[in-house]
Structure 1
Amino acid sequence: MSAALMDVVAMSGPGGPEVLHLAQRPRPQPGPREVLVEVAYAGVNGPDLMQRRGLYPAPEGASDLLGLEVAGEVVAVGEGARAWQVGDRVCGLTQGGGYARFCTILEDHCLPVPLGMTLAEAASLPEAWFTVWSNIFMTARLAACEVFLVHGAAGGLGTVAIQLGKAFGARVIATDSPASRLESCKALGAERVVDYQQEDYVEVVRSEFGGADVILDIVGGPYVQRNMKAARHDARIVQLAFALGSKVQVDLMPVMLKRLHYTGSTLRTRPDGFKAEVARQLRAQVWPLFESGRLKSVVGTILPLAEAAQAHRLMETAGHCGKIVLKT
């Protein structure tokens, strides 16, 4: 293979996992304040699936390739980049282009690989940890001793939310199914696990905890109204995905009566400066907890880059635990 070309996962068009295929593209060059990373592993995330289906286009100027997080080694730095040197091991949040052998990233959106962590584990960090920290701690301001309800808790976002909630003193309730997924949630620090096929989480939260202060939901559909019922007064509900649909009919009276805050966001479209601030806070407050062993990366499956389609199929089954990463 020519040194000017690299392996990538491209799309033949919007559609199912079968549209993903190996291809070759020119190796990118770092722009101002960017670094070029030789990618060892790339994380697979929900927005990748949405973009593949044609529902989440890349921002203007971003790579059309999938992949929002990578880990690897810095091999070049762009003009004005000072934070990293060639040879540094980093993980980073990208605007796209992660499903490739090389990827450019803004230097302020990179973090060091925590001591003792493999590159595969580090590749699972940026998208989920940036997302949970910015939404649950910076926006919803989860505090110690508050009740934190996490839906889809055995997945990529959920495993992060459980750990961060526990580490910062919250009482964490995790919902998922079946029992094997709930066992992993319990091992990560969930105080109470709820199999949604066997129990009513609203009843559990209200009767055993008096309601939830913060709720992280990736389910949507009927959960939108039920979350309002499970919430305490002044609770904050954070919507980060809609596995069961975003179009619902709801009674908004609880928002007024309970003074609820209902919010959500997508990370990719946030300003560069905001992401840099999230990275700064993570490095100061969260990264030391990895190195002390209080937090860990949860990687469930590693597949070669050529099997990106299989990785997407696996993620769509919702039967996996932890993150899925691709080895380049």
Structure 2
Amino acid sequence: MSQMRAVLIKDGIGGVENLYIGEIPKPTPKATEVLIKVKAFGLNRLDIEQREGQYPVPPGASEILGVEFSGTVAEVGSTVHEWREGDAVIGLVGGGAYAEYCLAPSSHIWHKPSDLSWEEAAAVPENWITAFQALTIAELKPNESVLIHTGASGVGVAANQLARLWDAKHVITTASTTEKLHWLLRLPNGPTRTINYKTHDFASEVKTITGGKGVDVIIDFPGQSHFVKNLESLAVDGRMTMLALLSGAEVEHVNLAPILFKRLRIQGTTLRSRSLAYQADLIQRFKDTVADKLTGEKGSGPLRTYIHAVFPFEKIQDAHREMQSNSTSGKLIVTIP
């Protein structure tokens, strides 16, 4: 059996120092799958959580880290007719992208836009589809206001731009440093207002920006640390989509009255653990309505990918350290020669 290089974890779990590049068997596609020769893959917070044993791998998914990639089709399954060897694609998988080759359902890949580099293309799938999912679930409407937390993260950057594309009135985003906030405000289609949640009461700032009304939609990642102020920030009939619990899952001594009296709707969602059918439908809706508007950072489209740094495959430990530093503005990408 042919071998390939992949990022492995010593003892199956651990810190950055446990990451190493080893050799494992190259996978073979099942009937409805394609085998991808990976050119580049994106890093996501869930990769760190999985490495540390805090993120369960979905049933049937590869134990190898990585959920998004750009590359070329190397082989197709027996019932796949829409793809050919050599097709340049990007895609979303349940795992396995940290490798020279990975398997993907044929429904989870699409053609790489010719004006995107391999690195820019690898920055698209997880972040943009997650942002699309979150705002769609929250039913953001034109002229409504939205608060997006962790605005300089990959998903945050995508969500800010999508909210602008969908004609939100106020697109307010939070971040932890002045540098990140200034960077966000310089984006052509970024947020309309920013708040440093470390130095300011974001609920009070939101009320000032919206004339006392509050925001109609919140996209939340922190969880525990922001929950009470999120309730304060929401307008009557407001909706909050929760994507993660970065600061913790337990909130003590919470006054639930705002949920009742403001008729709030709070919904959590995931993507990686969803069924392949759900993911395929979401990907198709994204492709139909958003994908053709994406360009690279130097493009002129309404939606753009932004890369913080690119690392070679051999520097995977450095890439993880950079993500753990929480200093990034945009996406971290790793390339495979």
TM normalised by structure 2 equals: 0.93
Q: Secondary structure at the match of 1:228?
A: helix
Specify the code of the residue in structure 2 equivalent to 1:293.
G
Alpha-carbon offset, residue 319 of structure 1: 0.5
Matches within 5 A, 1:5-84: 5-12=3-10, 13-84=12-83
> Contact (CA 8 Å) 1:9, 1:306: kept in 2 or not?
no
Query: Of residues 143, 158, 161 in structure 1, which corresponds to 2:159?
Result: 161
- Residue 15 (structure 1) shift: 1.6
Number of residue pairs the alignment of both structures matches: 325
Within 5 Å, give how 1:178-217 maps onto structure 2.
178-188=177-187, 189-209=190-210, 210-217=213-220
Please name the residue that 2:327 is paired with.
Answer: 319
Q: How far apart in 2 are the matches of 1:273 and 1:141? A: 21
Aligned twin of 2:85:
86
2:283 is aligned to: 279
1:238 aligns with 2:241: yes
CA distance in 2, matches of 1:29, 1:307: 27
Shift in Å, 1:260: 0.8
Per the alignment, residue 295 of structure 1 pairs with 303
One-letter amino acid of the counterpart of residue 258, structure 2 = P
* 1:198 CA displacement: 2.9
* Superposition CA RMSD, Å: 1.3
Amino acid at match of 2:65: L
Task: Please name the residue that 1:104 is paired with.
Answer: 103
Whole-angstrom distance in 1 between the partners of 2:284 and 2:112:
14
Asked if structure 2 preserves the Cα contact closer than 8 Å seen for 1:216 and 1:240, the reply is yes
Q: What SS does the corresponding residue of 1:300 show, helix, strand or coil?
A: strand
Code of the aligned partner of 1:288: D
Question: In structure 2, what is the Cα distance between the partners aligned to 1:308 and 1:262?
Answer: 36
C-alpha distance in structure 2 between counterparts of 1:66 and 1:222, whole Å: 28
**CA drift at 1:82:** 2.3
Q: How far off its partner does 1:60 sit?
A: 2.1
Could you tell me which runs of 5 or more consecutive residues in structure 1 were left unpaired when the two chains were aligned. Answer: none
2: distance between equivalents of 1:112 and 1:253?
48
Displacement of 1:314 in angstroms is 1.2
Q: For 1:225, what is the secondary structure of its paired residue?
A: helix
Give the counterpart letter for 1:119 in structure 2.
W
**Unpaired segments of 5 or more residues in structure 2?**
none
**CA distances 1:65-120 after superposition (whole Å, capped 9, x unpaired):** 00000101111111211222111111100110000000110011112212311110
- 1:224 corresponds to: 227
Q: Counterpart amino acid of 1:241?
A: A
Which shifted more, 199-208 or 291-300? 291-300
Return the alpha-carbon distance in structure 1 between the equivalents of residues 286 and 131 of structure 2. 11
Sequence identity percentage: 34
Residue 134 of structure 2 aligns with which residue? 135
The match for 2:273 is: 269
CA offsets per residue over residues 173-192 of structure 1, 9 Å max, x none?
A: 01113222112221332111
